[in-house]
Amino acid sequence: MAIIFILMAIKELKLDEIVDQLAKKYPHDKDRIYQAFELIQERHRDQKRASGEPYVSHLLNVAKILADLNMDSTTVVAGLLHDILEDTETSFEEIESLFGREVAEIVEGVTKIGKIRFRNFKEAQAENFRKLIIATANDIRVVIVKLADRLHNMRTLSHLRREKRLRIAEETLSIYAPIAHRLGIWEIKRDLEDLSFRHLYPKEFEKVRKFVSQSLEDLEAYLKKFVIPKVREVLKEAGIDAEISYRPKHLYSLWQKTIRKNINLEDVHDILGVRIVVDSLQECYVVLGLIHNVFKPVPGKFKDYISLPKPNLYQSLHTTVMADKGKLVEFQIRTREMHLRAEKGIAAHWAYKEGTGKADKPEVFSWLRSLVENIQGSRNPGELLDHIKRELFSEEVFVFTPAGDLLVLPSGATPVDFAYHIHTEVGNHCVGAKVNGRIVPLNYRLRSGDQVEIITSTQKKPNPQWLKFVVTSKAKSGIKQYIKKLERERFLNEGRRIIERIRENLHLTHNELMEKLREKVRFKDEEELYLALGSGRLSASRLMGVLTQKKKVRRIPSHSKGSGVVSLGDLDSVMYEVAGCCRPVPGDEVYGVVRSGRGIVIHEKGCANLRYLRENFPEKVFKVRWSPQGRFRTRIRVHVKDRIGILSDITRKIADNDSNIWESYTKASAEGKAVMDFTIDVIDKSHLRKVIKAIRDVEGVRSCSRVYT
């Protein structure tokens, strides 16, 4: 029984033989394959691999790996051409015109990924790089070509000098092998891991390799004598047609297991797993039952990845049993389809259908979709779907600093978000941005793979308009903080100016004025006074009045701590106006809008103008507690069925309810209807409600309500 080691020298085929094999495998597309072969021979003719071989050998081997994965011929052609944009004077357009748009786009995608510089392989960053690669590729076939490229480079790594070898091996182990794993392409994952293992940890690799080759012979003999015959027998009795095979665990995973479980190689029991491939899902479970009948299952070692697939959609039943002589043997039971998927993962989707004469034309991810549909009945389809989405349809963008560092931002992020992410000062002074060397507007939406350079100027200050497009909280709070600071400075200056004017009017020195003020007004320091004056919370005329008369301002109204609600109450020192648009009355929920130097305007919560102000100048709007005494004018609108005397009936009702009419306007329409607007005065909201209710009772009134704008 031949157990083929993946690391055994792979029989070198002559280049022409490889092309012929490819053409034979894809007869419907052999013209494109030969044409691509001719083109790469011409364009790469002066290039050699580090091994001294012609460069074309790399390209053919990559194409062969793709063909062995049963990828469609478009991917195989793209595999032949995958280095042509980067390494030769060939344009996207030329590839497109010769081989079609799909091939050109795959090649372009591979070229893009090739330009990503991985700067460190620490776990967190590595995960981001993996996501970046998947996000960069519009078509998952780009990633598969890249994996094939990497696999062949790993196979020929020995020709490179040591440092480069280690860097590539490390990158492979932390970035590319996990991607292969995620896409379920077991064949590639296994080879990438073992090849990296060999270069990164040569001593350990050698130890594991030796151990496996020594124990395999015994293990194989044991399986052949005690296990396989029994299994065959029970399967035959049950009338189940199955393929039984076994192969060793790959070396890297064995080594990982000894580390993870802190055990010796001798204690790893599943070096050789027995695989049983059957025709149907039901048979998987039947076989499981039969095996558990023959051998004693080890408790806790049964895993049903059929009803609960792994995140990479791997499906199989796993069980470990105790066979003769107390040896542990692991079984993997699966259908042919599951087996194909386990070996080739996402690549199984492109599996070339022989005899159809047509290439399978895949829609990206439709494989995932159909698979997800198939497992809808499983226990956690939602979770699985979510996982796939998170993994493959990332909601993040991955961008680079000019130094090549990778930053992760939420999708929709702009250069301003990027700038604030780097540093608040960079954000505060950014004037422009270059993306991939080209100037872009500051509201440009960054895309994965973009390299972003921020242009700053010490003169530049944040623009409140940026708040309309930034998406990160860091940028938002940075801009808002700056606006607040700016506002504060403006208020201080305005306050100083007002004090100076008062001082001139009263012919006092600054110190004399302050002394006088302190007798009448309580304030912590001059700054507080300036801010109150500048913001309009304290009006200049009020202050003049206080200084020239005997009246006393109890204290400067201030932002009450905690609630964020400014209490205007009955403090007459506050300069405020009631907004003409919505005309709030006491009892309404109201907001104050600061108009610098001119006090506060109070709007009712539902007012359309207020909504506009809140959206555009959030820093100027704050909640206000407002409960003044007096009478307040507001507006109501009454829809009526017109009849003689209705206007006088309504006005009487208003008067009867202790309200005055300041203005009224009636507009009659056709069909005997009319609209009447009144400006009336009321004490507060409940008074207004009472008036409205009374009007509604008037005969012929269809509706009566308050008018806000």
Catalytic residue numbers read: 86-87
Nearer to Mn ion, 65 or 513 (CB): 65
Q: Within its chain, how far is the Cα of 180 from the centroid?
A: 22
Site residue total, Mn ion (CB under 5 A): 2
| Rounded Cα gap, residues 514 and 507, in angstroms | 13
Stretch that binds Mn ion, among 149-157, 287-295, 494-502, 516-524 (CB under 5 A): 149-157
Nearer to Mn ion, 149 or 270 (CB): 149
Beta-ladder partners of 308: none
Q: Which residues contact 264 (CB under 8 A, 6 or more apart)?
A: 258
Window 300 to 339, contacts with Mn ion (CB under 5 A) = none
Q: Nearest 5°: CA angle at 591, between 586 and 595?
A: 115
Residue 345, classed as helix, strand or coil, is: helix
Question: How many H helices and E strands in the chain?
Answer: 28, 20
Q: Which two tokens stand for residue 683?
A: 């004490």
Nearer to Mn ion, 149 or 191 (CB): 149
149 binds Mn ion (CB under 5 A): yes
Encode burial over 129-159: b for 16+ CB neighbours within 10 A, e otherwise: bbbbbbbbbebbbbbbbbbbbbbbbbbbbee
- Shortest separation between residue 451's beta carbon and Mn ion, angstroms: 22
- Shortest separation between residue 44's beta carbon and Mn ion, angstroms: 11
- Shortest separation between residue 148's beta carbon and Mn ion, angstroms: 9
Residue 37, classed as helix, strand or coil, is: helix
Nearer to Mn ion, 83 or 604 (CB): 83
Stretch that binds Mn ion, among 147-155, 284-292, 587-595, 651-659 (CB under 5 A): 147-155
| Rounded Cα gap, residues 231 and 244, in angstroms | 9
- For Mn ion, what does the binding mask look like between residues 64 and 83, x meaning CB under 5 A? -------------------x
CB-based closest residue to Mn ion:
149
Beta-ladder partners of 307: none
- Shortest separation between residue 426's beta carbon and Mn ion, angstroms: 37
Q: Within its chain, how far is the Cα of 341 from the centroid?
A: 28
* Residue 28: Cβ within 10 Å count: 12
- For Mn ion, what does the binding mask look like between residues 25 and 64, x meaning CB under 5 A? ----------------------------------------
Q: Within its chain, how far is the Cα of 124 from the centroid?
A: 15
Stretch that binds Mn ion, among 144-152, 285-293, 413-421, 589-597 (CB under 5 A): 144-152
Stretch that binds Mn ion, among 145-153, 283-291, 499-507, 573-581 (CB under 5 A): 145-153
Look up tokens 């790399």; give the residue: 58
Stretch that binds Mn ion, among 146-154, 173-181, 208-216, 423-431 (CB under 5 A): 146-154
Nearer to Mn ion, 149 or 283 (CB): 149
Q: Could you give the dihedral angle defined by the CA atoms of residues 524, 530, 534 and 540, in that order, rounded to the nearest 10 degrees?
A: 90
- Shortest separation between residue 48's beta carbon and Mn ion, angstroms: 14
Nearer to Mn ion, 154 or 585 (CB): 154
84 binds Mn ion (CB under 5 A): no
Q: Which residues contact 207 (CB under 8 A, 6 or more apart)?
A: 265
Side-chain half-sphere CA neighbours of 156 within 13 A: 18
- Shortest separation between residue 284's beta carbon and Mn ion, angstroms: 39
Window 175 to 194, contacts with Mn ion (CB under 5 A) = none
- Shortest separation between residue 152's beta carbon and Mn ion, angstroms: 7
Nearer to Mn ion, 83 or 494 (CB): 83
CB-based contact 58:100 (threshold 8 Å):
no
Window 631 to 690, contacts with Mn ion (CB under 5 A) = none
Q: Which two tokens stand for residue 198?
A: 């060999």
The residues that touch Mn ion, with contacts defined as CB under 5 A, are 83, 149
